[in-house]
Amino acid sequence: MSQTRVWVPPYDVGLGALLIHRRGPGDPTYRLLDGVHWRGIRTPEGPATLAVRARGARGGEVEATAWGEGAMWALDSLPGLLGGEDDAAGFEPEDDLLRAAVRHVGVPRIGRTGLVLEALVPAILEQKVTGQEAFAGYRRLVTTYGEPAPGPAAAGIGLRLQPSAAVIRQVPSWSWLRMHVDPARSRALVTAVRVAESLERTLGLPGEEVERRLTSLPGIGEWTAAEVRQRAHGDPDAVSFGDYHVAKDMGWAVTGEPWDDDQLRAFLAPYRPHRGRVVRLLYRARGGRPRRGPRMAPRTHLP
């Protein structure tokens, strides 16, 4: 049986912001069909399927329908998912480019899932590999070891749940290789899921403390911690330093030339605790830099 909630946000909501939680176009835990965002999620109260759509003459209302044991948790979390718990107080850009961007697209709202493991698993799989390889590894993990999301509608579109921490702990080493996940990433992932409960308790802590706890685990660095802080915690100050694209894209948006991480850190320093909000704002207003040349090829040395 499904449950439904209608939420009227006090600001303009763009459901496209939810796509930050989709791990590639073939993500089995996420479907975008006819304007409806479908998510298979593993909540603290059990599995859930969540379908979110805009409704009303101007799309000013958000309707969410959920199935499964975690349905009420998913519906209660809807405002937070869409940035309703974000606090942009104090974000007053003095840079002319940023002020123009705010006038053009508004101040980005940072949403949060409240699900640390959901964000951490794919982030570890995305470490130091091409997007194609990362998304393929995550897809194989979910299709092999995940389970169908609850509800008849989810079954009809093949929606699945990310495997639980207990299941990931039992994945044999040879299976990681068959999924094209190298030993460094699989070790980091298995180590992290062993302390999954304590990682979930980082919700509500200051961003620096969240980063400290995450990076205390072997194989988790600043980039991975930032990816989790952005999605699970809704941290407006989290920036994915070390990313192949972010610093280059931000430099192009501001100066027309790619930057490195040091240049990006210097530019963002005056905007604490909203550095991640600045990055979202520039992506929304300016987009990424033009891509030229062939894409990086995925590695072929794994079985």
For residue 230, give the nearest of 137, 108, 74 by alpha carbon.
108
DSSP state, residue 4 = E
**pTM value > 0.85:** yes
Q: Please, which pLDDT band fits residue 4 given cuts at 50, 70 and 90?
A: very high
Which distant-in-sequence residues (6+ apart) come within 8 Å of 148 by Cβ?
154, 155, 159, 160, 161
Rg (CA), the chain: 19
Judge whether residue 299 has pLDDT over 60. Answer: no
User: Which of helix, strand or coil describes residue 36?
Assistant: strand
Condensed to tens digits (0 to 9), the pLDDT of residues 99-127 reads 999 999 999 999 999 999 999 999 999 99
Rounded mean pLDDT of 63-83?
97
- Per-residue confidence band for 38, with pLDDT thresholds at 50, 70 and 90: very high
Q: What is the pLDDT of residue 12?
A: 86
What is the assigned CATH class of domain 116-233? Answer: mainly alpha
Q: Given a cut of 90, is residue 58 above it in pLDDT?
A: no
Q: Per-residue pLDDT for 23 more than 50? A: yes
The pLDDT assigned to 298 comes to 52
Domain spans, the chain: 3-81, 116-233, 246-286
279 in Cβ contact with 243 (< 8 Å): no
pLDDT greater at residue 131 or residue 303: 131
The three-state secondary structure class of 6 is strand
Would you state the pLDDT for residue 11? 87
The answer, yes or no, to whether residue 273 has pLDDT greater than 50, is yes
Residue 57 has pLDDT above 90, yes or no: no
Judged against a pLDDT cut of 90, whether residue 301 lies above it is answered with no
pLDDT value, residue 128: 87
Q: What is the pLDDT of residue 222?
A: 97
Q: Confidence band (pLDDT; 50, 70, 90) for 296? A: very low
Nearest to 246 by CA among 295, 299, 282: 282
pLDDT at 303: 47
Mean pLDDT of 227-244: 97
